[in-house]
Structure 1
């Protein structure tokens, strides 16, 4: 009897334990079924290539405004707007009658000083030769003659410099092209007064542009400047030539950001075959932005930007947590992110601010 009673008690205890375990498992399953189902994904690295379209300005590779060096009048025009000119070609003749008078006066002073110096030098040479015979010439007379010779030589050199200066000023009356190019503007006519000061200097006489080779300049925002480098090829277009694209190569980068625009100046050299492009045109440049290294690219819906910052939602052990990230470039429905992310990280695909940290998910 006692053995049968013990067996009955053990059986009833085992049955109760099994029933309790089954009840607990059912409760856990019920709780798991109530947890929200959230779609997650593992981020992958990619080398993202995008394009940035920016307005750019086309200018002549070389451009110079020509002004008059001396006060004068326009005597003759040798070139006009649109003229193709070569380096050293005469563009304009100016006239300054007072310079001719100054040149004649300087020439007379030069000849006079030359004669004075020649005489004093001869006197000194004779005294020097005579002084070799002891007692014929006093030492003081010889020193005075030498001093006079040196003084006359200095006056002669000053007269020569003054004469050369007037000759140089006369050379400024001939305006010549500094390089091969095109006359873009002409602001004077025959007889106009020009000079380094006054109304004659308000506008340049002419503007010369080199148009067979052009300069394409664009200001690239700070966040994109790191993607560009010298030698990168790109395409651009202009509104005046619809349907046509032109190529260029990055030749120079300023290496510094403009203090006002917070952008870096990038210049490209353009060979203007057929002179289709003109300085002053506004172009639209397609700048290729290719990352140097692979970066994590995720769907836009996985990144949340709020007053608390930019973050993604990570799922670990069925619990959510917010991970701060920085956004990079955006391409259609994808975006670059930078942060403490790895290939094994599970991110919520449809992230929202309504998912707090510690949320249990299935």
Structure 2
């Protein structure tokens, strides 16, 4: 009975051991099969490439600018005097030649009266010497009546008096012109932006009364938008290019103007070129002195190579793209141009149709093999 029980227990242990060994073998076979499957499915993905093409990239430059008056002049008195009357004030719109202020200078009236009396006296002397010369000249037609010397002296007196008469006329005109400067008139159409005098104030060309201008006349219907274009973008700016801008006073409005003047030289300190844009301001909403946010379109002039930004690698060794040549990676140094919409201009030893890697990184070493590629549009 005991022997039979021992035999049964031994048989059960043998069966259990066989089952364990079979299970282990099956597990090992299954693991090997999974590993083989995993290795098969994790084959390297093909490298995405695209064919290099030429195109045109349009971008824009956002820079600040300042609005200044097209013409802005300080008006001073030419002669000394006192303001007799004012005919314009701050904010007055005036026309060219309009009287702004009238000054008075009593000493000029005296100088004009003295010049006028001298002129009349000189006219009388000239009339007398001319009449004397005419008589002598007529008498000289009779043989032996008048000597040649008498004729020459009469002619010299007449010429001298005529010269003195011209000098007297010039003196009189000088005083008359000075009196005209007592009338302060507008040199062009504009608006009075500053007034520094009142009725009775002393004004003059020098000394007290000339520290500040009488008026500042500003042309407001035309403005200059002055901007400083950085050196890298000067090649994209041309005369008559249209630009748009906005100001803080009217943030929801866009204003436009055309490039009319370029300095043609770079500011030595800022390394930028002064550019002036003419702006029409008939409604006078814009004011000189306003700061503007300027948008300058920068279209490329010629067809250049355009690539995605992801195709360009910026590394410590330089800027480059990766070209596929004979199934190997080739680093090609390039220079970047304009950037817009995740695209960038590049310049380098490239030709149209070159196969470039779309997602370039430094991990793709120069000369490393590229097993397979996937072309993208």
Q: Which moved more, 1:44-53 or 1:215-224?
A: 215-224
Q: Match of 2:140?
A: 131
CA contact 2:306–2:344 (8 Å) conserved in 1: yes
Q: Does 1:112 align with 2:115?
A: no
Moved beyond 6 Å, runs of 4+: 33-37
Look up the match of 2:24.
none
1:258 aligns with one of 251, 254, 266: 266
CA distance in 2, matches of 1:111, 1:296: 86
Q: Structure 1 residue 214 and structure 2 residue 215: aligned?
A: no
TM-score w.r.t. length of structure 1: 0.83
CA distance in 1, matches of 2:361, 2:202: 74
Mapped to 1, the partners of 2:365 and 2:210 lie a distance apart of: 71
Structure 1 residues 262, 134: closer, same or farther in 2, change over 3 A? Answer: farther
**How many Å apart are 1:192 and its aligned residue?**
2.3
Q: 1:129 deviation in Å?
A: 0.7
Structure 1 distance, partners of 2:148, 2:129, is 17
1:321 aligned counterpart, secondary structure: strand
Structure 1 contact 313–320 (Cα < 8 Å) conserved: yes
Quote the Cα distance in structure 2 between the aligned partners of 1:235 and 1:259. Answer: 24
* 1:89 and 2:98 matched: yes
2:89 to 80, 94, 118: 80
- Within 1, Cα distance between the matches of 2:318 and 2:131? 94
Query: Equivalents in 2 of 1:76, 1:229: separation in Å?
Result: 49
Contact 2:51–2:356, Cα closer than 8 Å, also in 1: yes
Q: 1:65 aligns to what? A: 74
- Unaligned stretches of 5+ residues in structure 1: 1-32
In the alignment, is residue 182 of structure 1 matched against residue 202 of structure 2? no
Displacement of 1:207 = 1.1
* TM-score, normalised by the number of residues in structure 2: 0.80
Query: Quick check: which has more Rg, 1 or 2?
Result: 2
Cα distance in 2, alignment partners of residues 258 and 105 from structure 1: 58
Deviation at 1:131, TM superposition (A): 0.7
**Aligned residue runs from structure 1 range 305-344, under 5 A:** 305-306=314-315, 308-344=317-353
| Distance (Å, rounded) in 1 between the aligned partners of 2:46 and 2:283 | 65
Give the match for residue 21 of structure 1.
Answer: none
Cα distance, 1:108 vs structure 2: 1.6
Q: Judging changes above 3 Å, is the alpha-carbon distance between structure 1 residues 87 and 264 closer, same or farther for their aligned structure 2 residues? A: same
Could you tell me how far 1:170 is from its partner in structure 2?
0.6
Q: Which residue is equivalent to 1:22?
A: none
Alpha-carbon distance change, 158 to 309 in structure 1, aligned in 2, over 3 angstroms? farther
Aligned counterparts of 2:316 and 2:202: Cα–Cα separation in 1: 66
Aligned length: 329
Contact 1:35/1:361 (8 A) holds in 2: no
- 1:215 touches 1:267 (CA, 8 Å); kept in 2? yes
TM-superposed CA distance for 1:158, in Å, is 0.9
What is the Cα deviation at residue 185 of structure 1? 0.7
* TM-align CA RMSD: 2.3
